[in-house]
Amino acid sequence: MFQPTYPIRTPRLALRPVTMDDLDDVYAFQRRPDVVRWMLGAQPRTREQSRLSVLAMAGEDAWRAEGDCLTVAAVTDAGVIGIVELVWRSRLERTAELGFVFHPDHGGRGLATEAATAVLDCGFAKFGLHRVYGRCHCRNAASARLMGRLGMRQEARHVESYLFRGEWADQLVFAILAHEWRAGTRTPPS
Ligand SMILES: CC(C)(COP(=O)(O)OP(=O)(O)OC[C@H]1O[C@@H](n2cnc3c(N)ncnc32)[C@H](O)[C@@H]1OP(=O)(O)O)[C@@H](O)C(=O)NCCC(=O)NCCS
């Protein structure tokens, strides 16, 4: 089993497992059309859907088996302002997939980058990952920029590879390897 030591502390955040007490904070961003705009499903959540989502995330505090998702809440004095997740995609290839969603009220300050950096660090340094990748809709510019800031390179544009709101959409794939992460090619926070 792989479980980080919680909380993971960064200069401005504490990262720790999600709890049911986080429902109000998580619903505050999951209900927003601008947040879910480029995400799979792309529908703002009802409070009940958020409750089920928080319930599922609350159990995701460790990797016990391939396929497990590790989900951490990014917490400031304002409460939970975002979520970062790392899905264990392959045991053999030591590969994981990164995901993130943050409340726009706390955007544009590098907090998502800070949280994702800590999670990637944990994945490479503590879990011994070889590769982490991330995917986004080709028009999700904020997500693509974030992955670029993390030092992930765009490896692919899968043209019309999935159905998004009933239309074929292009998906961008970004990735970074352990030795690249250690080399620290990412943009340092200003
Ligand atoms: C993807 C998402 C988390 C990015 O949020 P963000 O606010 O752009 O990211 P950060 O918190 O890292 O802030 C980075 C921005 O702050 C700026 N910034 C200010 N201070 C900074 C610092 N100390 N360090 C880094 N960036 C800083 C950066 O220049 C950047 O702005 P830019 O993108 O206009 O160049 C957010 O848009 C989101 O939650 N989207 C909805 C969910 C989603 O689509 N998730 C991905 C699904 S694939």
pLDDT digits (tens, 9 = 90+) for 87-113: 999 999 999 999 999 999 999 999 999
**CATH topology for the 8-132 domain:** Aminopeptidase (3.40.630)
pTM, full prediction: 0.96
* Per-residue pLDDT band at 190 (split at 50, 70, 90): very low
Helix, strand, coil distribution of the chain in percent, nearest 5: 30, 35, 35
- Provide the 3-class DSSP secondary structure of residue 117: helix
pLDDT for 41 equals 80
**Distance of CA 156 from the midpoint of ligand 1 (Å):** 21
pLDDT in tens, 144-181: 999 999 999 999 999 999 999 999 999 999 999 999 99
Look at ligand 1, atom 34, and give the residue with the nearest C-alpha.
Answer: 108
Integer Cα distance of 172 and 155 in angstroms: 8
Strand partners, 84: 72, 100
Q: Which residues line ligand 1 (CB under 6 A)?
A: 35, 38-39, 100-102, 107-113, 136, 140, 142-143, 145-146, 189-190
Tell me which residue of 24, 135, 2 sits closest to 70, measured CA to CA: 2
32, 40, 119, 146: residue to mutate for ligand 1 pocket, most atoms within 8 A of CB: 146
**Distance of CA 82 from the midpoint of ligand 1 (Å):** 11
